[in-house]
Amino acid sequence: MTSSPAATASGSPLPEPDASSFAHARPIAGQAEWYKRAVFYEVLVRAFADSNGDGTGDLRGLIDKLDYLQWLGVDCLWLPPFYDSPLRDGGYDIADFRKVLPEFGTVEDFVALLDAAHARGIRVITDLVMNHTSDAHQWFQESRRDPQGPYGDYYVWRDDDTGYPDARVIFVDTEPSNWTFDPVRKQYYWHRFFSHQPDLNFENPAVGEAMIDTLRFWLDLGIDGFRLDAVPYLFEEEGTNGENLPKTHEFLKRCRKVIDDEYPHAVLLAEANQWPADVVEYYGDPAVGGDECHMCFHFPLMPRIFMAARRESRFPISEILAQTPAIPESAQWGIFLRNHDELTLEMVSDEDRDYMWAEYAKDPRMKANIGIRRRLAPLLEGDRNQIELFTAMLLSLPGSPVLYYGDEIGMGDNIWLGDRDGVRTPMQWTPDRNAGFSRCDPARLYLPAIMDPQYGFQTINVEAQMNSTASLLHWTRRMLEIRSRYAAFAIGEFTDLGGSNPTVLSYVRHFDGVGGLDGEGPHTVLCVNNLSRFPQPVELDLREHEGAIPVELTGGVQFPRIGELPYLLTLPGHGFYWFDISGEPEQQ
């Protein structure tokens, strides 16, 4: 528990830093709805680069690596929480919303990161946990100490533990109840997650104001948006399960209005681990183009991609996309293959709406592969063809892709570190000491760098892959570059083509020319993915595009003209194609 030097006499609020006390990052040249076109890159500050040799990555270290990220071609960094925290929940237990975790640096360092990133055309968003704080947060310390003070009503206090019985306990392993008794205040407090993370009381208007002021603080400094953590739980209400309540949506609309009015460049990305049909609620009212979050993660798609490749069948993917409803005009999905921790098979599915769920959850290998946290490369047994196929689908399916740091070089994981830390090892920059991540004594590293013969930093590192144009790193960079040239990949209409072969997933992305960059005309890309490890033929009905000459996007080779008969393609095992089928090239 932290001491409370700033604790004040009952009645006066805590002093909190103001954005005007800091320099502000220079803004990035404006592009409306940039998040619809962006490739996101999730980077853990702790794991990326250590500038001061203390064994832990920091903001200055990340600044040093921005040139690399610009070269790679990512558009926006997503930083999991870097706030001051006792780190009992990976930083999602925030002790001070306006302070940087000291081992990562300072608010000034963060502004410097924003400024340097913006200078390279890269945006930065971070997590904001609105539902709860750490019990070390001064708001909570004040609330338990002084029930009548300005923070007395900041949390949800009750004299007994019987309220909201219909709200499920999320962490059933460690928490017997959503209520915990506080010996100081001698009352119970409400928490949807860990007992050291008391829920804020959004029924108190001051709490909503305080959270919006927190948004403003970082937005004034120049941040480009937030991933809002655990949004379904903000409000609770007797007789409900305390999730997705109308008041929660009202509050998100308030946040969005602040963004639209004061920070129109910024994005709100909701973490709502639910079915697409339910998640769309978090985009808000489609009649006005969406008035809550700009983006939501599409959670079920990721495990479906793995299932599809395992079953060698397009149906797991085609089905979930067919179940995905339309989203408002200003909205975009966020999609990913891996991230720092995701619940996947355990996710959702209370009903038999998705019968396939039961099927796949029974498969022991699927469980082992998807249920625990592993990196992309080891999940795919280091198979370069599959890594490329999966990445190609990530970059071409509907939504803005989120890459996970290190996956661009095919980094491995360390299962002996436990499932949380196994995928959070130091970024592998060079074959040198500590993978080039830190100059410190190897024993001081926050986690050991991967050293196994297949994925160890002697083998897998940025430096080596930079020097070989055949590397996964160069391949990934080329694919990002191709993706950026075609608006269709990001905002084109998606049409699943089906086709004669159930192991081949084929779809068309058509961009109608509205909402692109200057000079971007209508165009259409065709993506064909072989989910089988064996070579496959597929016949596609491309009559709508009759007369067009497909141009393969990685090499520019022209394929035979599309005629009235089914278009025959053959693909190698786990092969894929991207074609521009917009029209007939100029005759020579």
Partner 1 sequence: MTSANAGSDPGAAAQAAPVSDTDLVTLLAGWLPQQRWYAAKQDPDAVVGITDRNLVAVAGEHDLHVTVEQVLIEVSGSHGRSQYQLWLAWQPEGTGAEEHAGAIGTAGGLSATDALLLPAVSRLLITTVADAAALGPVHAVREPDADIDITAHGMVIGAEQSNTSIVYGHSAILKMFRRLEPGPNPDAEVHRALAAAGCRHIAEPLGELIGPVGDEEAGRETTLGLLTRFYPNSAEGWAMALSSVRDLMAEGDLRADEVGGDFAAEAHRLGEAVAAVHADLAGAFGGRSADTDELRRILDDMAIEARSAAEQAPSLTQYLPGILAVFEQAAAHAASLQLQRVHGDLHLGQTLRTLTGWLVIDFEGEPAKPLAFRRSMQSPLKDIAGMLRSFDYAAHQPLVGGRPDAQHVFRAAEWAARNSTAFCDGYAAAAGTDPRQAGGLLRAFELDKAVYEVVYEHGHRPSWESIPLQAVSRLINAGGSL
Query: Active-site positions?
Result: 229, 271
Start-to-end Cα distance in the chain: 75
Half-sphere exposure of 209 (CA within 13 A, CB side): 5
- Of 116 and 317, CB closest to partner 1: 317
- The angle subtended at Cα 509 by Cα 349 and Cα 375, nearest 5°, is 50
Give start and end residues of each alpha helix (H) in 290-415: 301-311, 315-322, 355-362, 364-366, 376-379, 384-396
Cβ-based neighbours of 321, under 8 Å, separated by 6 or more:
301, 397, 398, 494, 496
- Of 10 and 500, CB closest to partner 1: 500
- Of 278 and 319, CB closest to partner 1: 319
Provide the minimum distance between the beta carbon of 540 and partner 1 in the complex, in angstroms, as a whole number.
Answer: 11
The burial class, CB within 10 Å (0-12 / 13-18 / 19+), for 448 is middle
Q: Could you tell me whether strands 179-182 and 536-540 are parallel, antiparallel, or unpaired per DSSP bridges?
A: unpaired
- The angle subtended at Cα 158 by Cα 91 and Cα 173, nearest 5°, is 45
- Of 88 and 533, CB closest to partner 1: 533
- Of 468 and 500, CB closest to partner 1: 500
State the Cα–Cα distance between residues 535 and 548, nearest whole angstrom.
25
Provide the minimum distance between the beta carbon of 544 and partner 1 in the complex, in angstroms, as a whole number.
Answer: 8
Q: What share of the chain is helix, strand, coil (3-state, %, to 5)?
A: 30, 15, 50
Site residues (vs partner 1, CB under 8 A): 309-313, 315, 318-319, 322, 355-356, 359, 363, 365, 496-498, 500-503, 532-534, 541, 543, 564, 566
CA-nearest of 244, 245, 240, 248 to 274 is: 244
The burial class, CB within 10 Å (0-12 / 13-18 / 19+), for 171 is middle
Provide the minimum distance between the beta carbon of 314 and partner 1 in the complex, in angstroms, as a whole number.
Answer: 8
Provide the minimum distance between the beta carbon of 353 and partner 1 in the complex, in angstroms, as a whole number.
Answer: 11
Provide the minimum distance between the beta carbon of 501 and partner 1 in the complex, in angstroms, as a whole number.
Answer: 7
CA 519 centroid distance within chain: 30
Backbone angles phi and psi of 415, in degrees to 5: -65, -15
Provide the minimum distance between the beta carbon of 176 and partner 1 in the complex, in angstroms, as a whole number.
Answer: 37
Provide the minimum distance between the beta carbon of 344 and partner 1 in the complex, in angstroms, as a whole number.
Answer: 17
Q: Is 528 helix (H, G, I), strand (E, B) or coil?
A: strand
- Of 318 and 330, CB closest to partner 1: 318
| Tokens 């490739």, residue located | 39
Cβ-based neighbours of 409, under 8 Å, separated by 6 or more:
428, 460, 461, 462, 465, 471, 472, 473
- Of 320 and 460, CB closest to partner 1: 320
